[in-house]
Amino acid sequence: MKYASIETEGLILNIMEETGKSFFEAENKYIKDYILEIEVLAHIDINGNDDRLLLSRKNGKFIVNGHRDQMNEDYFYFLDTDKETLKDVALYELELLVKRQRLSEKKKAKLLDQLKQETLEKISLIS
């Protein structure tokens, strides 16, 4: 169920090899070919971090992507279109993103509550 960025990077490197494109061109092709309907569920931009919780849909499956800026870490969860599982995974990944912020525990808790509410509202609108 969980795929780290190494798999994505492998696909991008294959595209580079097949097309002769640069890494960034191949990455853009990967995004167009493999990921559709990108939605930002949550965006945290604190102290120079630019972390995002992204939701995509491809071939009837949801893809939840927790991107941790400056750590070169992306975690992809490929899920069936079950909203309860989607909510669980999105909230789990959101907690990890908030936990890594340089904030007091009180501010982290407040931020997490706010982002959880926004994320659940966005997921509830998905058909």
pLDDT at 78 over 70: no
* The CA-based dihedral angle spanning residues 45, 47, 120, 56, taken in that order and rounded to the nearest 10 degrees: 50
* The CA-based dihedral angle spanning residues 37, 41, 42, 48, taken in that order and rounded to the nearest 10 degrees: -10
Mean local confidence (pLDDT), 70-82: 61
Q: For residues 127 and 105, what is the distance between their CA atoms, to the nearest angstrom?
A: 35
Q: In what order do the strands lie in the sheet with 2-4?
A: 2-4, 73-79, 61-68, 51-58, 36-44
At 106 the pLDDT is 96
Q: Which residues contact 5 (CB under 8 A, 6 or more apart)?
A: 72, 73, 74, 75, 76
pTM (2 d.p.): 0.61
pLDDT at 124 over 70: yes
For 102, the enclosing helix (H) or strand (E) is none
At 5 the pLDDT is 45
Instruction: Output the CA–CA distances (angstroms, integers) from residue 79 to 51, 64, 86, in the order listed.
Output: 21, 8, 7
Of 35 and 106, the structure prediction assigns the larger pLDDT to 106
